[in-house]
């Protein structure tokens, strides 16, 4: 049997439970079969949740992660489980957003990564958090994230 880039994945195609915390979540990656080409991968998580570390109340965000892969691609099921693990995790919006980006950068070593955390208001103020790993590579089409600022009702 011929070995493929998918052979070492443990979570895809298997029954998995949601990790209890981001620290317990296992990200998985596969070799990028198009590593000689610069292109953007976008993940959108419009129903991201975490907990306020002070009140325990839920916080909701629309996360958008864009990255230009190098040698590795993140396996999407493992990313979904990692993001889902924040639902029981207490941290401020800034910490959640930047921690996700930094873990992905450390794990994937992409050519470039950015995250937009568009958080829904609590106490009447939305908090949007943006981070990127550096200057975007030349010659790569990086679309706008296109998430409008929160306007409330009306």
Q: Catalytic residue among 7, 59, 71, 96, which?
A: 59
Q: 52 catalytic, yes or no? A: yes
Q: Is 76 annotated as a binding residue?
A: yes
CB–CB of 111/82 below 8 Å?
A: no
How big is the CA angle at 128 (ends 126 and 134), to the nearest 5 degrees?
175
Task: Choose among 86, 97, 87: nearest CA to 127.
Answer: 97
DSSP-based three-state secondary structure for 71? coil
Q: Catalytic residue among 52, 71, 95, 128, which?
A: 52
- Burial of residue 3 (CB within 10 Å: 0-12, 13-18, 19+) is exposed
Q: Is 140 annotated as a binding residue?
A: no
Q: 96 catalytic, yes or no? A: no
CB–CB of 68/137 below 8 Å?
A: yes
Q: Is 75 annotated as a binding residue?
A: yes
**Can you tell me the distance from the alpha carbon of 121 to that of 55, in angstroms, rounded to the nearest whole number?**
15
**Where is 115: in which H helix or E strand?**
strand 112-119
Residue numbers in the known binding site for substrate are 74-76, 93-94
What residues are annotated to the active site? 52, 59
Positions at the binding site: 74-76, 93-94
């Amino acid at each position: 049997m011929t070995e493929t880039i998918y052979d070492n994945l443990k979570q895809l195609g298997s029954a998995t439970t949601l990790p209890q915390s981001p620290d317990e979540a296992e990200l998985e990656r596969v070799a990028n079969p198009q590593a000689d080409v610069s292109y953007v991968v976008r993940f959108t998580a419009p129903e991201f949740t975490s907990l306020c570390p002070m009140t325990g109340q839920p916080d909701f965000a629309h996360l958008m992660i864009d990255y230009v892969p190098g040698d590795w691609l993140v396996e999407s099921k493992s990313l979904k489980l990692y993001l889902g693990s924040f639902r029981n995790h207490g941290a401020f919006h800034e910490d959640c957003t930047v921690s996700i980006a930094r873990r992905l950068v450390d794990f994937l070593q992409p050519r470039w990564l950015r995250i937009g955390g568009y958080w829904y208001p609590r106490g009447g103020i939305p908090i949007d958090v943006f981070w990127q790993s550096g200057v975007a590579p030349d010659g790569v089409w990086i679309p706008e994230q296109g998430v409008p600022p929160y306007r409330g009702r009306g």
